[in-house]
Amino acid sequence: MKNTPSDLSAIIKKILPQLEDYIETSMSGSGKVLKQQLASKLSGDLGLKKWIKEGGINEHNVSEFLQTYLDNSQRMHHPHYIGHQVSSSHMASAVADFICGAINNPMAIYEMGPSGAVIEQTIINWMLEKAGWFVGDSIEDFSQKDGNGSGVLTHGGSMANLTALLAARARIAPEAWDEGNPGDLVVMGSEVAHYSIARAISIIGMGKRNLVTVPTTSMEVLKPELLEERYKRTVENGQRVMAVVANACATSTGLYDPVDEIGQFCNENGLWFHVDGAHGASALVSDKEKHFLSGLERADSMIWDTHKMLRTSTLCAAVLFKDGSSLANTFQQKGSYLFHDKDKPGFDLMPYTIECTKAGIGTKLFWVLAAEGEKGLSDYIDNQYGITRKFYELITSHSDFECPYYPEANIICFRYTAGESGNDYQLGLRNELVKRGDFYITSTEISNVRYLRMTVINALTKEEHVSKLLEEIVLIASS
């Protein structure tokens, strides 16, 4: 393939029917969801060494390579893909990816991608509006109105959590940017806060042990009534609480921490309240489900992944702040958030991100919204949350299975209970299921008990598929 637009066009024309067939077959539910082979065999089948050393891929030989590549890929659009919290992506977001790849605008500096930059800021305003942190008349209003929040898109929720905690540090210890951490800072959060929180604390240089964990219920929901006692003990130890983190929702169970009660505690004690909504913040687009985030007005920051429940391809997350100045203070002590000085037609996002070069990732969500509108996304959330509750009825009505809790979001855990049912046994069932390749599910521990786990993220997954899944598990158990 030469570096010409006509070669690009030729190769795209060649591979499009293959991609269409791959996704259509996946969506129809035929064939395996995953075939795994040894990495050493796969690299040979793909001819990786030859391609890397010699080059020469073109429209005549690309099909063979792509077929092997697709045959060895996870079929995210298969109704039996009920695995991780990664979207069974909307086709519209692939259009965004293609355009971004073709024109390559690293838009963190406005002049390096005005369209990408203005789309990101409009998407941020849309998200702020959903969070109740936007006071402008229109999401196309980029002036820094009093009372407006702020935010930026990051390459993933882990980066977004890190950014939020850096903002919390900038509030409690602004000198840390120049002088390093004061040494008395801790973060309080659930015992099962996503591991990116502990990582962020380590990366910031506070040391992971300065995550003060607050006990949870047996279903791993933070107990707000225990915050007071933990906080008191922390203060008596001479430590200062930099932030309190809530799960909205928890990765393992999809259950929401009580945002309102935790927020109340934080507000009463003047503590930064961070809501990790990587998965569950998307409930904000649904009138039916947004009650899970009641009390969000008490929070200072929130993260929200679009590649989980907003149907975009990987990777795009937002970190949002209620107070517009929080983002400006994160990476520098001076500077206005969106500067509109006379010489600049737009705004540079670079001073407000960990990343320097940044892809136009907001276009992914823009394209999904442009295809579906807000109503389409809201219907999607309603469907995924709603059908997961139906799956709960289906699983609990089967004599061989139990679910430990009624699902709130689209994550459901269950165990095979007929006959042997220990932790290793559940894991063995899952591993065998994935090895067979007809279904893709995950597994997790809740209070040291292992469960099979589904994230119902594919709009095509219906009750008939879950019934078949249960049948296959019973079959594996009896074999």
Ligand X SMILES: Cc1ncc(COP(=O)(O)O)c(C=O)c1O
Which spans of this chain sit near ligand X (rule: CB under 6 A)?
85, 156-158, 161, 194, 196, 247, 251, 276, 278-279, 305, 317
The nearest distance, CB 456 to ligand X, in angstroms, is: 15
Of the pair 277, 346, the CB lying nearest ligand X is at: 277
Of the pair 278, 365, the CB lying nearest ligand X is at: 278
Of the pair 110, 385, the CB lying nearest ligand X is at: 385
Q: What are phi and psi of 189, to 5 degrees?
A: -170, 175
Of the pair 22, 256, the CB lying nearest ligand X is at: 256
The nearest distance, CB 155 to ligand X, in angstroms, is: 8
Distance, CA of 65 to CA of 271 (rounded, Å)? 54
Determine the residue with CB nearest ligand X: 157
The nearest distance, CB 193 to ligand X, in angstroms, is: 8
Of the pair 274, 398, the CB lying nearest ligand X is at: 274
Distance, CA of 400 to CA of 336 (rounded, Å)? 60
Of the pair 199, 240, the CB lying nearest ligand X is at: 199
Of the pair 89, 148, the CB lying nearest ligand X is at: 89
Start-to-end CA distance of the chain, whole Å, equals 50
Spell out the residues 6+ positions from residue 94 whose beta carbon is closer than 8 angstroms to its own: 313
The nearest distance, CB 279 to ligand X, in angstroms, is: 5
Do residues 272 and 266 lie in contact, with contact meaning Cβ atoms separated by under 8 Å?
yes
The nearest distance, CB 86 to ligand X, in angstroms, is: 8
Of the pair 130, 194, the CB lying nearest ligand X is at: 194
Of the pair 76, 109, the CB lying nearest ligand X is at: 76
